[in-house]
Structure 1
Amino acid sequence: MKMVGVSIDAGYIFNQKMEIVFVNEKFVSIMGYEIGELEKLKLSNVIHNDFNIHDECIELMVRELKLTKYWHGEVWKKRKNGEVFPTWLSIYPILSENNVDNFYIVQFHETSQHLTYLPRLDYQFRKAHFAGNIEIYYQPIFDIKTGQPVCLEALIRNNCNSLRMVNIETQISNIEISGYIVNLDKWVIEQVLKVSEKIKDEYEVDVNFSINISSKLFVNNMISFSSWLGTMLTKYNVNPKNIELEVTERLLITNAELALEEFDKLKRMGVILSIDDFGMGYSSFNYLKKYKFDKLKVDKVFLEEYKGEENLEIVHGITNMAHALGLQVIIEGVEKQSQLNKVKEFSCDYVQGYYLDKAMLIEDFLKKYFRKNIKD
């Protein structure tokens, strides 16, 4: 079915699902309950401006936006069995008058709250990902004593022209809201494991990798994250001790029991656990004891924004307390020699920052530190 010439009819309010009805080349009807005119208008703009309605884009909406699609034959069958779609009752007169039988209904499974965030930025990120424009860069983390890189943190870069001016943190926040972060996190983890396997085969060494993961990955009802990760580690023959997962305190606050259960499984597997951005919210040393983290990462804001001696002493205090609890400490955001000199006084374990080295493609890291390219 080719969709052209689309007009929006948002005059129907039914049930607790939002539905879009695609009818031949005639019209698209948006229906919903407590959707609100503003949300409908936004969705209307998305359909017109972003999806450029045609079969492939409709399929993308169905697959990636968690929709259910019913062809006209299925609707007829459900109607015959007494399962009447409110949508069907409303558009039936229009279809009858125009002798239309080629249509289908798409139902959203999201609430109207989520529909606000459906649009352009989220769609463009997904499109960039499908097109291969999302790359993983790796920033080294250095041993404070030896000055040698001991771990690589995987960081996302979006090379899509339409999103170059959008901060990557903003992009990540947006796909966290939509839920696509789960897809991205799993993709990143698998790409990192592939790289780890290749390096081990080529150089006969194990490289440690640090991966940021979202709380959404833990609360996905469709999978057990620890189980899935175990399967991936086996598939790519990667030692769990070479993988470090960075989680933020948001996960600990909103999903405490589940986090504790999953962390226990991950720890038993041998995976390293690190709490990221410590000191930026409700972080507490109680978390560190309760969840048995291996490492603590002090947020770069302490070096970035605060210049006073008092604030640097906060970093010193965090380092001492973490060491007392048996954790290793990483201080990120080291951008100049004076900062490096200062954190050395704090006896932290690891440092990271542009002054030491920037994030780079894995091939560039290998050229610089291994002086040999990885085989394709």
Structure 2
Amino acid sequence: MKLEVEQNQLFSKAKQLLVSSLSSNSMYRSPTTKGAAFCMYWLIICGSMGAGVYYCSEIIDLLHANSKLPPVLSYVIHPVKLMIILTGSVCCAVAAYKLSSYYYQENIAIAARFKKSLHMNDLSLKYQPIVDARTGLWIGAEALLRWKHKGKDVPPSLFISAIENTEIIADATRWVCTRVVEDYCTGIRACNDFYISINLSSRDVMDPTFPDFLSELIHRYNAYSINLMFEITENVALDEPLAVQNLKRIRSQGHKIALDDFGTGYSSFSYINTLPLDKLKIDRVFLSPTSNETNFIIIEQITCLAKRLDLDIIVEGIEEKHQSDKLLQIGIFSLQGWLYSKAISPEELVRGFFSKTHPKTHYVI
């Protein structure tokens, strides 16, 4: 009876999740898509069946141990148990297949809609400032791609994961680069000693034509390479000679290169020796609510190493003042996070830059 009540509760919760996820208003609320919600319903059903299989098996074993089964049934105990277990296993396998199938189909659908928006120039950029914590002045910003579909914001984690292993990501990066240069030339150029960072994918660093694209873009808009920095992560194909060669070409044009999410992978330190780097960007995981003094010790040691190698440090994910105070004590000055500003439009970026009071002159810049 208790098991039946628990199953009914599980089915009720699954139904609520399914109905909520299938509604058009919740289509892009989270990476749990409509297909995934349907598969979750399947998994809950299989979990309930698994619980039933377990209890049935236990009852059969108990009856058999106490010799309360008819002699004829004692010969079919093991085949029946095996059939029950096989049935549960098949149901779980089907659920897993449907789960992967729905995720795959959903990713294809999202990628197709994103590609259409890209060709229609129906995307936008936001900029999150990078701050010199000693003065409070904005010294740079990270360009963040944003997409609205049918008036609703699509989470970047959702559409980036859908396109990152396709050719669409390369077109998206070139769109971002072009828009950043346009924004720079139409307003951000007025911000002195200011740079914009752009994230690169595996396909970008493996594309031998990408450095030529950047060179042509900078020349076309009469911009300056020093004002564009490119961020790469460890999941990019950094071990490939072509990737290293292309990054060297990009850096030789005057652009800065930063290694993003530093310290979270197994190969971070080896890349310092092989890649043409200017900055290390320490991941927000070291500043999570569960972080402790050990994390700041790790950051301090990374900072010492970076200074010895003449590399600058940026820490992202700053949300509380005590975090920035601690990092200032360590000797890290370039910080990024919601403590200073959320991601904003290029117009707001320029206004924000010129609204800061310079600590030496006490005048607004």
Q: TM-score, normalised by structure 1?
A: 0.63
Shift of 1:133: 3.7
Q: 2:220 aligns with which of 235, 239, 244?
A: 235
Aligned residue for 1:59?
none
Q: 2:284 aligns with which of 280, 300, 312?
A: 300
1:355–1:118 Cα change, 3 Å: closer
Q: State the SS of the aligned residue for 1:270.
A: coil
User: 1:310 corresponds to which letter in structure 2?
Assistant: T
User: 1:215 corresponds to which letter in structure 2?
Assistant: S
Identity level (%): 31
Shift of 1:127: 2.9
Structure 2: state its 5+ residue gaps: 1-34, 36-100, 356-365
Q: Does 1:170 align with 2:150?
A: no
Distance 2:352 2:304 in 1: 34
Cα RMSD, aligned residues only: 2.5
| Structure 1 segments of 4+ aligned residues over 6 angstroms from their partners | none
1:284–1:115 Cα change, 3 Å: closer
Q: 1:214 aligns with which of 201, 207, 211?
A: 201
Q: 1:367 aligns with which of 338, 342, 351?
A: 351
Aligned residue for 1:346?
330
1:283–1:349 Cα change, 3 Å: farther
How do 1:262-281 and structure 2 match up within 5 A? 262-281=246-265
Q: TM-score, normalised by structure 2?
A: 0.64
How do 1:84-103 and structure 2 match up within 5 A? none
Distance 2:296 2:350 in 1: 34
Distance 2:151 2:156 in 1: 13
Aligned residue for 1:332?
316
Q: Indicate the structure (1 or 2) with the bigger Cα radius of gyration.
A: 2
Shift of 1:199: 2.5
Distance 1:196 1:261 in 2: 27
Distance 1:355 1:115 in 2: 37
> What is the number of residues matched between the two proteins?
255
Aligned residue for 2:123?
134
Q: Does 1:288 align with 2:278?
A: no
Aligned residue for 1:78?
none
Larger deviation: 278-287 or 178-187? 278-287
Aligned residue for 2:110?
121
Shift of 1:303: 0.2
User: 1:278 corresponds to which letter in structure 2?
Assistant: F
CA contact (8 A) 2:188 2:346 kept: no
Distance 1:157 1:360 in 2: 11
Query: Comparing both chains, which one has the higher relative contact order based on Cα–Cα distances under 8 Å and sequence gaps of 6 or more?
Result: 2
User: 1:151 corresponds to which letter in structure 2?
Assistant: G
Distance 1:231 1:206 in 2: 22
CA contact (8 A) 1:199 1:206 kept: no
Shift of 1:224: 1.6
Shift of 1:142: 0.8
CA contact (8 A) 2:187 2:347 kept: no
1:335–1:261 Cα change, 3 Å: same
User: 1:232 corresponds to which letter in structure 2?
Assistant: L
User: 1:299 corresponds to which letter in structure 2?
Assistant: D
User: 1:179 corresponds to which letter in structure 2?
Assistant: E
Q: State the SS of the aligned residue for 2:186.
A: helix
**Residues 189-228 of structure 1, C-alpha deviations (whole Å, 9 max, x = no match):** 0000111122367x384631111111111223xx521111
Shift of 1:260: 1.5
Shift of 1:262: 1.1
CA contact (8 A) 1:241 1:272 kept: yes
User: 1:351 corresponds to which letter in structure 2?
Assistant: L
Aligned residue for 2:144?
155
Aligned residue for 1:247?
232
Shift of 1:129: 3.0
Structure 1: state its 5+ residue gaps: 1-41, 43-111, 372-376
CA contact (8 A) 1:199 1:207 kept: no
1:160–1:192 Cα change, 3 Å: same
Distance 2:288 2:104 in 1: 36
Q: State the SS of the aligned residue for 1:250.
A: coil
Aligned residue for 1:182?
170
Aligned residue for 1:261?
245
Distance 2:191 2:152 in 1: 38
Distance 2:354 2:242 in 1: 40
